[in-house]
Structure 1
Amino acid sequence: MTDLPLTGVRVVDVTDGLGESCGRFLADLGADVVRVERPGGSASRRTEPIESGISIPFALDNANKRVVVLDLDSDAHRSRFLDLVAGADILVETTLAGTPAGRGLSPAEHLERHPELVVVSISGFGQTGPYADWAATESVIYAMSGVLSRSGEPGREPLLPPAGLVEQSVGVHAAWSALLGYYDRLRTGSGQLVDISAFETVVHGFDPGFGVQGSAAAGRRDDFPRGRPDAANFYPVLRCADGQVRICLLAKRQWRAMFSWLGEPAEFADPAFDTIPARFAAADRLHPLIEELFAGRTRDELVAEGAARGIPIGGVLRPAEVLANEHFAAAGTLVDAELAPGVTARIPSGYVKIDGRRAGFRHRAQSADAAADLWSETPAARELTSDAAEPGTHPFTGLRVLDLGVVVFGAELGRQFADHGAHVIKVENRDFPDGLRQSKRKDTLSPSVAWGHRNRRSLGVNLRTDEGRKLFRQLAADADVVLANFKPGTLDSMGIGYDELRKINPRIIVSDGSAFGSTGPWNTRLGYGPLVRAACGVSALWRYSDSDTGLSDGSTVYPDHIGGQVAAVAVLAALIARLSHGRGAEIEVAQADTALVALGGQLVRESLAPGSVSAVGNTDPFAAPAGVYPCAGDDEWCVVTVRDDRDWRSLTRVIGRDDLADDARFGLADRRTENREEADKVLTEWLSERTPVEAMTALQEAGVPAGAMVRLPELLTDPHLSARDAYTQLEHPLLPAPLPTAVRVARFTSIPDAPLHPAPLPGADTHEIAVGLLGLDDAEYRRFVADGILQPLEESAR
């Protein structure tokens, strides 16, 4: 496919482990990605799970790339590598902090030699700070980022989420950062170094404790008590005739529809139950009533009835059911593909559709004996933009974005552009307010609005009127991007879809997100993140075991944040392509596709070995000791992962048990997994006498991956995050106190941090936009306001 947006962009990929999916995403979007491996192949080629002789994670993360094998200790090979980098636009690498300079291979040396190069350096904890040399695994990052403390059931140990979600978060944010640096280079002529920390990526970008939150946050306690939050009622899972369904009653209208379906029981007739906290408080009485109603109906029947009534309901599917699902096959989300010679599996194809075609899997990962040409094609001509700027300015200065996005997905997507200088206009209708605005408490602004809508302006306009849509089209004629995430077909039905807008503005880029995409039998299903992950198999694996009926993912809204970030990457790729050909694009992102890509390792394994995938709780099937272990104190936990025999020897030294280093039960990885209980007992005895931080520090200093379970407030005082200035204070006139907020996810040497302009109230900038951009005179403006077409900020809200 030569019409993909990143066609002609050259990327050298020297990653091994966390971050490999960054290059895969860029390759999906058309970049020529050349992966450099050492003789014998990268360590990640041996990453479990391995089925049919191939590493499934490696096969997925490295499809669509070319491979060249180089021995960088050889002068000739090092020279060839440097020639490869000299012809590249972007270098993505996972060099550890502290790698010796002088060989010409460090990120800084690459940049010094090629000032126009964008160098993306991915590591567990970043290039600076007290944890810079520490080892990171997915479970360690979960523990230290605050995710683990919110996962699991009350009264039980914290529960690790399914494998793959951290790697996805790192890969997507790294892809965004790489393209942001490259777009900035096209404006300024200068490259830069980008420092990506997996730790900060998950702290700020996965499902942040101090960032945009789902509606369930209205029922969360602010004092952060010990133990797991009682989150089962946030997005409850209920039994039905053929399994389980999840229900999301968030908006008032959804509750009223459910109340009617229940037969309007008198005990829930009080208008107080229109609020989320009141329904949470009454869950012990309300949910049994709903479950009784659902008992005689199947998942599909309930989903269909819910859709007819406007009630979001989704079935809880296991991985095998996901693989056999008709919708995912029809949508092109899951495809049958050859992962290695003679090995075909059902795999997630890719994240996005561009102009109706999926930008996804094209060819399998190449073998380690491949010999790619340095650069086989002439790159596309991309000169400096007409608004060439000085380095150190915001990359999107001059871009105009019309933001129709709602709730978490919409807030995260629009914020990526607002934070980097775009003129983002949030288009709102007070009669159908953004769900984030409905989650406010008393007379204060919702913290999620403050976090998610910062740096925007707000236009109040009723797009359900002909004149309102005419005004929107007038704005779109001079806009660069339109962002939305409604039910598929909504924009088209309003006459403001891509086909209509490109007639008046051929350069327009329209990003349309939804739960399940525009094609396939589920295309009109209602969906929030909790329903999406239930339908994609994530929820079924996010529990202590397959025999557990309770699910433990109620406190997260995954994949909303990552789905918004995926859409941002695709929009940015389209902006880059537009510099060459001048045309806009239509981008489609389904949240389900985001979840399925993350779960790809489990889905492919189940495809190759049916029945092999199940909920494993805190047990790592491929390593021991590895898991979540109790420490000294009340509800204090530490994650430890012994990856290999070297880690085991280091651990035995730390805990004072050198006698176990060569013990026949533990000396080799397969023997440790066979004797998991005994290995866990040895480690648990040592941990029980230490605090999580003491244990983590001692093990990490010996090179063993370990992470203390951190609660959300503790992130604000974490020494590493503090040293990297990871948080600042966000103020707003309607907030009782400043909010902790992320300064950045990635650190750029040239791109400045985001400004912190307060989020607008609904319609606050209507007059300014109507007069300044639409050119209305005062008489026209007053008429539109009187007719309810334009909706300025209400006096009562000032």
Structure 2
Amino acid sequence: MTDLPLTGVRVVDVTDGLGESCGRFLADLGAEVVRVERPGGSASRRSQPVESGISIPFALNNANKRVVVLDLDSGPDRTRFLDQVAAADILVESTPNGLPTGTGLGAADLLAMAPGLVAVSISGFGQTGPYRDWAATESVIYAMSGVLSRSGEPGREPLLPPAGLVEQSVGVHAAWSALLAYYDRLRTGSGQLVDISAFESVVHGFDPGFGVQGSAAAGRRDDFPRGRPDAANFYPVLRCADGQVRICLLAKRQWRAMFAWLGEPEEFADPAYDTIPARFAAADRLHPLIEELFAGRTRDELVAEGAARGIPIGGVLRPSEVLTNDHFAASGTLVDVEIAPGVEARIPSGYVKFDRQRAGFRHGAQSLDEAADFWSGTNDLHESIPDAGVAGPHPFTGLRVLDLGVVVFGAELGRQFADHGADVIKVENRDFPDGLRQSKRGASLAASVAWGHRNRRSLGVNLRTDEGREVFRQLAAEADVVLANFKPGTLDSMGIGYDELRKINPRIIVSDGSAFGSTGPWNNRLGYGPLVRAACGVSALWRYSDADTGLSDGSTVYPDHIGGQVAAVAVLAALIARLSHGRGAEIEVAQADAALVALGGQLVRESLAPGSVSAVGNTDPFAAPAGVYPCAGDDEWCVVAVRDDQDWRNLTHLIGRDDLAGDPRFDGVAKRIENRDEADKVLTEWLSERTPTEAMTALQEAGVPAGAMVRLPELLTDPHLSAREAYTQLEHPLLPAPLPTAVRVARFTSIADAPLRPAPLPGADTHEIAVELLGLDEAGYSRLVADGVLQPLEESAR
């Protein structure tokens, strides 16, 4: 594509390891990303897994970038670097405490030199707080963020999720934060420093314990008992003729269709089984019946029959099956490319489509031999934007967003714009309520609604009527963005798709999300996050081993949150482009694409070395000792990751076993992996006498990555999160007590934290919007209410 939304935006990328995917996402969107490496190359060029002589993570995270080699200890090279940073729009760096000490190359120093620069600093735990100098790995972040405590099977050790999901979360949130600060610069003329903590990116952005939740929360115990949650039966995985399928019986109508397919067994005729908790409690009787029904049918047959009956069913695919899947090839999600000179593989191309063309892979990561130079000349593309927003405390002040989004994806997407000043109008029909509004557990308002719908207004309108659709078109004529996540083609069938809306508003940006996208044989499949995970290979890897039939991802709603965040980045990129050319855009994000990009390293490895990828449980194939270890106490665990020889020496010294530092059994990574059981035994004996927090603290202070397994309530008192004010209190008049909530993922020097206006009830702002935006008088408003076109707040809810 030659018309990508960030064309002309200049990015200097000085990342090495965690956070490299931020620059890749920006490059996919068209930014001119120049990666700066020292002579000899970045350490991440040697990151495992390595196949065919290349680091797969490096190859994926640095595609579409140019490379410049500079010795920043050299005066001339440092001058070249500073000159080019001064001509850049965004700097992204990941050195824990800034670029080389004493050289004036830290992010804050560069911002002082170039006041218009957006300087994004990515680190494991952020630039402030008691953990700021600690080492972060994916497994450590999983443990400390609360993800690990919810992963695994009851009665077994907690289970690390597949590799890649943390890097994705960090990269996507860093890309959003970079563009948000850049958009603010276009409005104010001033750059700023952005502090990204990988820890907080996962705590607040991956599958937050105190944020919008999926249906799995319906059965979650609020007392958080020891052990893993018994969540497998929420989205049960059942055997069939050629493998396994997963079903999602969430809505009453879906259960009723399943009940009919089963032949209406008397023992499940009670209306009580219309609810998720009742079916969950009866899983030991219900699921064997369904499995017996499925036994003689293949995955594809069951998926097709489920679609015909309105029952969401998805096959559980292994990575090898994902790579050969017809849908992912037809949709353009997976492509065959040369990821390094002479090395071809099948890879995930990219997250998003703009105007029906994918913004993804264009060229492989450059080798040091291909290193070029920076861009030439000045960049005044976005120096003076006449309509870059109106004055106000937040970047999106003056923007209007019509939000048709539903459940977790929709709430996460719309909230990004509502939190930063946009007038986000949630368009809803009380006869077909958002699934989040149906997830309340005895309270007058679901906590997920309070978290996800804050700072919005609500317009009740029946879009199933001609007049209702005309109301929507009137609003769209003056709006900036439309957000939706229905089955592909739904907006078009209603006459409010992009092609229709751009006729009345050429500046409109329409973002349409779905499970599997609009192109390919699965384009009309019913999709929820659990089915997407299963179809993309995530679920097959999220278990203790390939021999385990059970899956351990039942308590998460991944990739809903990250999919919504990907869409938010794409919309923001389109808003930036619109400032230059004045045109809107059609954006498409498939949740499946988000999951596949995160799993890219595993898929590429399987592509290059068939049969090499399998579920590894808590065993790190590339390091030892590394994994999840028991500590003193009941169900207390600590993750430890010995990455290299220095970590091993630090560990042996800490535990008083210096004799092991030179032991030939443990001499080098390969030997430690070969003698993993013995290395694990040494570590386990030491950990068994310490609490997770004691062990984590001692190991981190010795330079060894480690993280205590944290349960969700413990996040609220974590000293690092407390020091960084990661949580505040969200109040709502319909809730019995305030909710802990996040107001930010990144920390900005100039962008204010989000306000916390309560989420509206359905139709609470219908009258205000009808008068203010539609120009209706009272007679016209009353007529549309009487005709069922407009829906004000019901009297009983006031």
Band of TM-score, shorter chain: over 0.9
1:276 to 1:384, Cα distance in 2 relative to 1, 3 A: farther
**Is 1:669–2:686 an aligned residue pair?**
no
- What residue in structure 1 maps to residue 78 of structure 2? 78
Contact 1:190/1:391 (<8 A) preserved: no
* Structure 2 equivalent of residue 421 of structure 1: 421
**Are positions 1:784 and 2:789 aligned together?**
no
1:508-657 mapped onto 2 (5 Å cutoff):
508-657=508-657
- CA deviation after TM superposition for structure 1 residue 278, in Å: 1.4
Q: Structure 1 380/574 Cα, relative in aligned 2: closer, same or farther at 3 Å?
A: farther
Letter in 1 for 2:533: R
Residue 385 of structure 1 and its aligned partner are, at CA, apart by 4.1
Task: Please tell me whether the aligned partners of residues 387 and 579 of structure 2 are also in contact (alpha carbons under 8 angstroms).
Answer: no
Aligned twin of 2:294 = 294
Q: Deviations over 1:761-788 (max 9, x none)?
A: 1111111111111111111111111111
Partners of 2:85 and 2:91 within 8 A in 1: yes
Match of 2:751 in 1: 751
Letter in 2 for 1:326: D
State how many pairs are aligned: 798
Determine the C-alpha separation between the residues in 2 that align with 1:29 and 1:377.
Answer: 22
1:685 aligned residue: 685
Please say if residues 13 and 34 of structure 2, whose CA atoms lie closer than 8 Å, have aligned partners that are also in contact: yes
The farther-off stretch of 57-66 and 75-84 is: 75-84
Q: Would you say the 8 A contact 2:317–2:534 is kept in 1? A: yes
Specify the alignment match of 1:274 in structure 2: 274
Deviation of 1:34 after TM superposition, in Å, equals 0.1
* CA positional deviation for 1:374: 1.6
**Contact 1:404 1:427 (8 Å CA) reproduced:** yes
**Aligned-residue offset at 1:128:** 0.1
Aligned to 2:665, what secondary structure does the other structure show?
A: coil
Q: 1:482–1:511: 8 Å Cα contact kept in structure 2?
A: yes
Deviations 1:250-296 (A, max 9, x none): 11111111112112222222222211111111111111111111111
TM-score (structure 1 length as normaliser): 0.99
Q: Verify the 8 A CA contact 2:22 2:174 in the aligned structure 1.
A: yes
Q: Give the equivalent residue in structure 2 for 1:741.
A: 741
Which amino acid counterpart does residue 406 of structure 1 have in structure 2?
A: V
Give the gaps of 5 or more residues in structure 1: none
> Is it true that 1:263 corresponds to 2:266 in the alignment?
no
What is residue 336 of structure 2 aligned with on the other side? Answer: 336
Distance 1:271 1:758 in 2: 34
**TM-score, with length taken from structure 2:** 0.99
Distance in 2 of aligned mates of 1:28 and 1:343: 21
Please tell me the residue identity of whatever aligns with 1:730: L
Do residues 145 (structure 1) and 124 (structure 2) align? no
- Separation (CA, whole Å) in 1 of partners of 2:593 and 2:733: 39
Contact 2:388-2:579 at 8 Å conserved across structures: no
Say if 1:7 and 1:387 are closer, same or farther in 2 by CA, change over 3 A: closer
Structure 2: gaps spanning 5 or more residues: none
Aligned to 1:398: 398
Q: Which of 466-475 and 272-281 deviates more?
A: 272-281
C-alpha displacement at 1:373, in angstroms?
2.3
Partner of residue 431, structure 1: 431
Aligned Cα RMSD in Å? 1.2
Indicate conservation of the 8 Å contact 1:624/1:676, yes or no: yes
Bigger mean CA offset, 379-388 vs 390-399: 379-388
Determine the structure 1 residue equivalent to 2:51.
51
Map 1:46-125 onto structure 2 (within 5 A). Answer: 46-97=46-97, 101-125=101-125
Cα distance in 1 between the residues matched to 2:356 and 2:130 = 47
* Partner Cα separation in structure 1 for residue 126 and residue 581 of structure 2: 37
Match of 1:136 in 2: 136
Amino acid across the alignment from 1:779: A
How far 1:332 moved relative to its partner?
0.2
CA shift for structure 1 position 599: 0.3
Q: Contact conserved, 2:187 with 2:395, CA < 8 A, in 1?
A: yes
Q: Residue in 1 aligned with 2:772?
A: 772
- Secondary structure of the 1:413 match is helix
Residues 758 and 779 of structure 1, relative CA distance in 2, 3 Å threshold: same
Letter in 2 for 1:462: N
Contact 2:98 2:121 in 1 (8 A): no
1:208 CA displacement: 0.2
Which residue pairs with 1:31 in the alignment? Answer: 31
* Partner residue, 1:206: 206
CA displacement, residues 440-473 of structure 1 (integer Å, 9 cap, x when unaligned): 1224210000000000000010111111000000
Contact 2:229 2:555 in 1 (8 A): yes
TM superposition shift of 1:99: 6.2
Give the aligned residue type for 1:516: F
Aligned amino acid, residue 17 of structure 2: G
Structure 1 match to 2:367: 367
**Kept in 1: contact 2:87–2:378 (CA 8 A):** no
Change in Cα spacing, 1:176 to 1:305, as seen in structure 2 (3 Å) is same
> Partner residue of 1:705?
705
Of 224-233 and 775-784, more deviation after overlay is shown by: 775-784
**Amino acid corresponding to residue 641 of structure 2 in structure 1:** T
Q: Is the 8 A contact 1:69 1:370 kept in 2?
A: no
Establish whether residue 461 from structure 1 lines up as the match of residue 461 from structure 2: yes
Partners of 1:578 and 1:335 in 2: how far apart? 29
Residue 137 of structure 1 contacts residue 705 of structure 1 at CA under 8 Å; is this kept in 2?
A: yes
Distance 1:32 1:23 in 2: 10
User: C-alpha deviations, 1:223-244, integer Å up to 9, x for none?
Assistant: 0000000011111111111111
Task: Look up the match of 1:163.
Answer: 163
Instruction: Report what 2:242 is aligned to.
Output: 242
Which amino acid in the other structure matches residue 187 of structure 1? R
What CA deviation, in whole Å up to 9, does each residue of 1:471-496 have, x standing for no partner?
Answer: 00000000000000000000000000
Distance 1:384 1:765 in 2: 36
Map 1:185-200 to 2 at 5 A.
Answer: 185-200=185-200
Shift of 1:667: 2.1
CA distance in 2, matches of 1:381, 1:426: 34
Look up the SS of the partner of 1:544 in the other structure: coil
Distance 2:55 2:417 in 1: 37
Distance in 2 (CA, whole Å) between partners of 1:151 and 1:332 is 32
Q: 1:237 to 1:511 in 2, by over 3 A?
A: same
Residues 391, 509 of structure 1: alpha-carbon distance in 2 compared, 3 angstrom cutoff: closer
Within 1, Cα distance between the matches of 2:161 and 2:75? 44
Counterpart position of 2:284 = 284
Shift of 1:698: 0.4
- How far does the alpha carbon of each residue in 1:75-104 deviate from its partner, in whole angstroms, 9 at most, with x for none? 111111111111100000012127665311
Match of 1:336, as an amino acid? D
Give the aligned residue type for 1:772: E
Once the two structures are superposed, residues 616-674 of structure 1 have per-residue CA deviations (whole angstroms, 9 ceiling, x without a partner) of 00000000000000000000000000000000000001111000001001121110001
Deviation at 1:142, TM superposition (A): 0.1
**8 Å CA contact 2:60, 2:600 repeated in 1:** yes
Q: Distance in 1 between matches of 2:786 and 2:394?
A: 38
Q: Which amino acid aligns with 2:75?
A: D
Residues 1:5 and 2:21 are matched in the alignment: no
Q: Aligned to 2:184, what secondary structure does the other structure show?
A: helix
Secondary structure, counterpart of 1:369 in structure 2? helix
The Cα offsets for residues 498-531 of structure 1, whole Å up to 9 and x where unpaired, read as 0000000000000000000000000000001110
Contact kept in structure 2, 1:97 and 1:128, CA below 8 Å: no
What corresponds to 2:722 in structure 1?
722
Question: What is the CA–CA distance in structure 2 between the aligned matches of 1:370 and 1:345, rounded to whole Å?
Answer: 20
Structure 2 SS opposite 1:78: helix
- For 2:738 and 2:262, how far apart are their aligned partners in 1? 42
> How far, CA to CA, are the matches of 2:390 and 2:718 in structure 1?
35
* CA positional deviation for 1:67: 0.1
